[in-house]
Amino acid sequence: MKIGSLPVPQPLELQQLYDSARNKGPGQTGETNPAEGIGGLQMAGPAGKAKFDNLLDSAVSAVNGKMQAADAEKTKLFTGETDNLHQAMIAMQEASVAFSLMVEVRNKLVEGYQEIMRMQV
């Protein structure tokens, strides 16, 4: 299963929303400096977008790598190259956990996007 080849959705709308929200009311509520962010976290500026993409991309390819490793173990087991049943099972479980994590991250992203889209303007 190749999931690295799937197109990664670009969070363009989110970025635009964030940029416009930051540019509209700087003088009225000057409670935090945007560069400092919240809780010491660096807010993702326009330069940070590519970084997040990279992060997502590397996470997806890591999951893909785990799945390919599990596939390789399975093939080795079926062709009789090895008789380590447990290694194949462990590789498959690892791939399963990694995939679940990726799905959870995706669900959270979509949830956040929909929350913003539901916002009353």
Partner 1 sequence: MNFLSGIQATASALNAEKVRMDVVAQNIANAHTTRDTDGQAYRRKVVSFEALLGADASIGGVKIDGITNDPAQGELVYQPQHPHANADGYVQMPNVNVAMEMVDLLTASRAYEANLAVARNARQMAAKALTIGR
Residues that bind partner 1 in the complex, under the rule CB under 8 A: 59, 62-63, 66, 84, 86-87, 89-90, 93-94, 96-98, 100-101, 104
Quote the least distance from Cβ 15 to partner 1, whole Å.
Answer: 25
- How far apart are alpha carbons 110 and 77 in whole angstroms? 38
Quote the least distance from Cβ 33 to partner 1, whole Å.
Answer: 29
- How far apart are alpha carbons 109 and 56 in whole angstroms? 11
- How far apart are alpha carbons 13 and 113 in whole angstroms? 9
Residue nearer to partner 1 on the CB measure, 16 or 58? 58
Amino acid at 47: A
Residue nearer to partner 1 on the CB measure, 11 or 66? 66
56 near 4, Cβ under 8 Å?
no
Quote the least distance from Cβ 57 to partner 1, whole Å.
Answer: 13
